[in-house]
Amino acid sequence: MKNKDKNTVTRRLDDEPVGSTVQVVHVMGDGAFRQRLLEMGFVRGAQVTVIKNAPLQDPVEYMIMGSHISLRHSEAAQIEVTDRDAEFCNMEDAFNGIVETEVAALDPLADDVLRVVLIGNPNCGKTSLFNNVTGAKEKVGNYGGVTVDSKEGWFSIDGRKVQLVDLPGTYSLTEYSPEEMYVRTYIRDNHPDAILNIVDAGNLERNLYLTTQLMDMNIPMVVALNMWDELEKSGDKLDIEMMSRLLGTRMVPLTAYNGHGVKDVLKATMEAIDESEQETMHHNVNYGPLIEDCLKELAAMCPTLDRYTVLKIIENDQHAIELLNGQDNAEQVKELAADMRQRIERDFNSDIVSTITDLKYGFVRGALAEALTPNPDRVAGDTKPGYSLDRLMTNRWLALPILLVLMWLMFEATFTLGAYPQEWIENGIGWIGEWIGKAMPDGILRDLIVDGIIGGVGGVLVFLPQILILFFFISLLEDSGYMARAAFIVDRIMHRVGLHGKSFIPYLIGFGCGVPAIMATRTLENRRDRIVTILTVPFMSCSARLPAYLLLVAAFFTAKQGLILMSIYLIGILVAAITAIVLSKTILKHDKTQFVMELPPYRKPTARNAVIHMWSKGKQYLQKMATVILAASIIVWALGYFPRHDGQTPQEQIENSFMGQMGKAIEPVVAPLGFNWQMGVSVLTGAAAKEIVVSTMGVLYTGESDATEESTSLKEKLQTATKPNGEHVFNPIVAYSFMLFILLYFPCIAALAAIRREAGTKWMIFEIFYTTGVAWLVSFIFYQVARMI
């Protein structure tokens, strides 16, 4: 596969018009990013189609090897291309089939626990399979980077217990991104008994690249051809038996999301393990005589290293070379490897990294040319089914309006649909409170139950329906594949604030809860990008703050409630944007980051996933009620109840209580924002968890005696609450100022713990002061200005 025609006229991919299909000649530059492009399929001879520009012109969507990938113009400029039918190289030349290499027979297993790891490209269905097999309810979503951690589960087969490990998706094992590093290290440190390599059957060329690397690990492996349903629908035909033979690995069709083929996959995995205890032959990619000789010679000098690592040493991969340390002949190996590298580069007339990548892709293509019969009705350059929605969703003029409408719809539905079940719960709680109030004798215990527990926990519990609706919508966005489109659409805007389109995904998740959102930043390759995103995620208003808004909006705004609610969210986004700009221009300044992201086909969201997602969030919410919020309500109640003085009105009692004294102490700080001491106390207690803002208000306002008999709900109590001088405590301006403060101040304890874990203590401390300072300032300016108008 030598460069047969050095005189090919090349252009830059960046200059190609939309709709054209060209052939890759060369990727310029060097280093990790180039490697990533090669691994994603931009190898010599690959056909690329320019699909469309993002609505704001950058990035651009390309189709390569059947998958859709977005690149920024600046990145596409690194790729040299030529006419689609220029005959300058023939990839299938590279197909040499497989070689058998001898590996030491595996030790009979030390313990009788078998461990199988799931490895595959992002978004190929690993977690779907994991959930199906182990009964777990891990999160599934139609975009790359949903799983950021390893998850372990168990299953039994033929009386044997097996541990199954779900790993983050990865395109390769080259240790370019944190996920790749994670997966590579995991394999090296944990010695799994078998690899279950999940591939997207509709996208074999790209997916099998990783398989070629895994083959060299010399670990028993089974390839599960997932999304078999999609392959069948596409009209392509794959000869599985021939494919298995060509690759020398077991291959089994699978449709993970409905469970078809799961049994066969597990059976094949167990067979592979059993066989490995007797057989010592392992099948590997044959790289041709020159490289195979080099590999053999070098492997003999490093008996402890696997073939993958030996090849990486020839490729001059620093991580692999480090593994030589401690070996006596390390220097000798390095020298020899350098020598071999030169020989190979000379012979192939290309640098070592692209040579090896080309060879691996050549191997995959050669096998596919034999075993895969594409649907004859499909025209080259045609997109696969599942992308037609993009004519609308990423349309130049409609994309941004659609994004805004979708978000508005999400909040409006949360507000209006949720109001019905909310009312039922509210009535139910009111009724229980009344009933207990009548049934129990006067005394501390009754006050604790009615005012403390029912007032506090009940006040927050009523928002459960809304929270579930919000998560339902987020789950739809995640499952349909729209998330990746959103990132594609807004990348240009995000770029302006110094961030990456991919940061949009954690932001959207942040509307649900900041903790998973902070975890989701792990898909960002650049550490500074990550930190900026982590620090700004808490400005995305999470669902825990929703109860406070819903309460205040319903109580003090009669018209356009959905819009008022949305305005709060938008202000959060605005503050995040300003923060990101400032941070990325000052303390977290960095070079531009790349935007390689895959756009998966749209998939129909499954009811099962949506329900699982809602259920697990609902359960979390209820658990929080039963623990943190219950405890906080009781503490708040007690601080407001004691010390007792005889002959005081409830109002005086609470003012003279510990809580009252605390509130009075902080009142000067919050008074300029329009808050009274009850509100001050609420934000103080809300630092533990934002729902507690409402539960505290619930407790503090239950004791009010001047509320009329009917005004049982907290909303009505707030509407009628008056200051000593007879003025209403709340009005729309105060309510809005209060919402702004709740939006922006101090992230909850759980979010701070996540920030600390992901970014470090220093940044956590920064975040505490920064968010609270910003909150005070914004509320102050709003309140003082609005009051004057």
**Rounded to the nearest whole angstrom, what is the least distance from the CB of residue 496 to ligand GDP in the complex?**
30
Buried b (16+ CB within 10 A) or exposed e, 701-714: bbbbeebeeeebbb
Contact predicate 165/116, CB 8 Å: yes
- Taking CB under 5 A as the rule, does residue 129 contact Mg ion? no
Contact predicate 510/597, CB 8 Å: no
Part of the chain binding Mg ion (CB under 5 A), chosen from 101-109, 139-147, 231-239, 387-395: 139-147
DSSP string, 652-700: HHHHHSHHHHHHHHHHHHHGGGT--HHHHHHHHHTTT-TTHHHHHHHHH
Q: What amino acid occupies position 216?
A: D
- Taking CB under 5 A as the rule, does residue 291 contact Mg ion? no
Closest to ligand GDP by CB, 261 vs 703, is 261
**Rounded to the nearest whole angstrom, what is the least distance from the CB of residue 773 to ligand GDP in the complex?**
39
Query: Pick from ligand GDP, Mg ion, none: which does 255 bind, CB < 5 to 8 A by kind?
Result: ligand GDP
Query: Pick from Mg ion, ligand GDP, none: which does 230 bind, CB < 5 to 8 A by kind?
Result: ligand GDP
**Rounded to the nearest whole angstrom, what is the least distance from the CB of residue 606 to ligand GDP in the complex?**
6
| Identified binder of Mg ion from the candidate list 101, 142, 147, 170, rule CB under 5 A | 147
For tokens 């609005």, what's the residue?
Answer: 786
Task: Tell me the CA end-to-end span of the chain in Å, nearest whole number.
Answer: 75
| Identified binder of ligand GDP from the candidate list 16, 193, 205, 229, rule CB under 6 A | 229
What tokens does 62 get?
């390309």
CA-to-CA dists, residue 153 to 190, 602, 609, 612, angstroms: 15, 29, 18, 17
Closest to Mg ion by CB, 124 vs 273, is 124
Closest to Mg ion by CB, 127 vs 696, is 127
Q: How many CA atoms lie within 13 A of 41 on its CB side?
A: 27
Length of the chain: 789
Closest to ligand GDP by CB, 256 vs 718, is 256
Residue 265 makes CB contacts below 8 A (sequence gap 6+) with: 129, 196, 222, 224, 252, 254
| Identified binder of Mg ion from the candidate list 127, 203, 244, 657, rule CB under 5 A | 127
Site for Mg ion in 295-314 (CB under 5 A): none
Q: How far is CA 215 from the centre of its chain?
A: 28
**Rounded to the nearest whole angstrom, what is the least distance from the CB of residue 559 to Mg ion in the complex?**
44
**Rounded to the nearest whole angstrom, what is the least distance from the CB of residue 608 to ligand GDP in the complex?**
9
Contact predicate 205/41, CB 8 Å: yes
Query: What binding mask, one character per residue, do residues 252-291 give for ligand GDP by CB under 6 A, x or -?
Result: ---xxx----------------------------------
Closest to ligand GDP by CB, 47 vs 177, is 177
Q: Round to whole Å and give the CA distance between 508 and 122.
A: 19
Closest to ligand GDP by CB, 148 vs 493, is 148
Q: What amino acid occupies position 59?
A: P
Give the dihedral of Cα atoms 411, 412, 414, 417; nearest 10 deg.
-170
Residue 558's CB: how many other CB atoms inside 10 A? 9
**Rounded to the nearest whole angstrom, what is the least distance from the CB of residue 147 to Mg ion in the complex?**
3
Closest to ligand GDP by CB, 129 vs 673, is 129
Closest to ligand GDP by CB, 230 vs 529, is 230
| Identified binder of ligand GDP from the candidate list 41, 55, 59, 125, rule CB under 6 A | 125
What tokens does 763 get?
């940044």
Give one word for 158, left, alpha or beta, with left for phi > 0 and alpha for psi -120 to 50: left
Beta strand pairing call for 160-166 and 47-53:
unpaired
Part of the chain binding ligand GDP (CB under 6 A), chosen from 155-163, 221-229, 344-352, 490-498: 221-229
Q: Round to whole Å and give the CA distance between 260 and 228.
A: 9
- Taking CB under 6 A as the rule, does residue 509 contact ligand GDP? no
Residue 275's CB: how many other CB atoms inside 10 A? 11
- Taking CB under 6 A as the rule, does residue 177 contact ligand GDP? no
Closest to ligand GDP by CB, 125 vs 458, is 125
Give one word for 202, left, alpha or beta, with left for phi > 0 and alpha for psi -120 to 50: alpha
How many residues at the interface with ligand GDP, by CB under 6 A? 24
Site for ligand GDP in 744-783 (CB under 6 A): none
Closest to ligand GDP by CB, 475 vs 682, is 475
Part of the chain binding Mg ion (CB under 5 A), chosen from 68-76, 124-132, 190-198, 386-394: 124-132
Q: What amino acid occupies position 278?
A: Q
How many residues at the interface with Mg ion, by CB under 5 A? 3
Site for ligand GDP in 470-489 (CB under 6 A): 479
Query: Pick from Mg ion, ligand GDP, none: which does 465 bind, CB < 5 to 8 A by kind?
Result: none
- Give 311: exposed, middle or buried? Use CB within 10 Å, 0-12, 13-18, 19+: buried
Part of the chain binding Mg ion (CB under 5 A), chosen from 146-154, 498-506, 748-756, 779-787: 146-154
**Rounded to the nearest whole angstrom, what is the least distance from the CB of residue 168 to Mg ion in the complex?**
7
Residue 682's CB: how many other CB atoms inside 10 A? 28
**Rounded to the nearest whole angstrom, what is the least distance from the CB of residue 179 to Mg ion in the complex?**
11
| Identified binder of ligand GDP from the candidate list 196, 227, 393, 453, rule CB under 6 A | 227
Part of the chain binding ligand GDP (CB under 6 A), chosen from 27-35, 119-127, 684-692, 751-759: 119-127
Buried b (16+ CB within 10 A) or exposed e, 566-604: bebbebbbebbbebbeebbeeebeeeebbbbbbbbbbee
Beta strand pairing call for 237-238 and 372-373:
antiparallel
- Taking CB under 5 A as the rule, does residue 132 contact Mg ion? no
Closest to ligand GDP by CB, 389 vs 573, is 389
What tokens does 35 get?
């490697």
Query: What binding mask, one character per residue, do residues 602-641 give for ligand GDP by CB under 6 A, x or -?
Result: -x--x-----------------------------------
| Identified binder of ligand GDP from the candidate list 39, 230, 525, 691, rule CB under 6 A | 230
| Identified binder of ligand GDP from the candidate list 47, 49, 147, 244, rule CB under 6 A | 147
| Identified binder of Mg ion from the candidate list 22, 76, 114, 146, rule CB under 5 A | 146
Residue 480's CB: how many other CB atoms inside 10 A? 20
Query: Pick from Mg ion, ligand GDP, none: which does 261 bind, CB < 5 to 8 A by kind?
Result: none
- Taking CB under 6 A as the rule, does residue 134 contact ligand GDP? no
- Taking CB under 5 A as the rule, does residue 284 contact Mg ion? no
- Taking CB under 5 A as the rule, does residue 170 contact Mg ion? no
Closest to ligand GDP by CB, 23 vs 226, is 226
Q: Round to whole Å and give the CA distance between 689 and 752.
A: 11
List the one residue out of 595, 561, 533 whose CA is nearest residue 76.
Answer: 595
- SS3 letters for 347-358? HHCCCHHHHHHH
Residue 171's CB: how many other CB atoms inside 10 A? 24
Tell me the sheet residues that pair with 157: 160
**Rounded to the nearest whole angstrom, what is the least distance from the CB of residue 73 to ligand GDP in the complex?**
28
| Identified binder of ligand GDP from the candidate list 45, 141, 362, 418, rule CB under 6 A | 141
Part of the chain binding Mg ion (CB under 5 A), chosen from 145-153, 466-474, 478-486, 603-611: 145-153
Closest to ligand GDP by CB, 142 vs 702, is 142
Footprint on this chain of ligand GDP (rule: CB under 6 A): 120, 122-128, 140-142, 146-147, 169, 226-227, 229-230, 255-257, 479, 603, 606
Footprint on this chain of Mg ion (rule: CB under 5 A): 127, 146-147
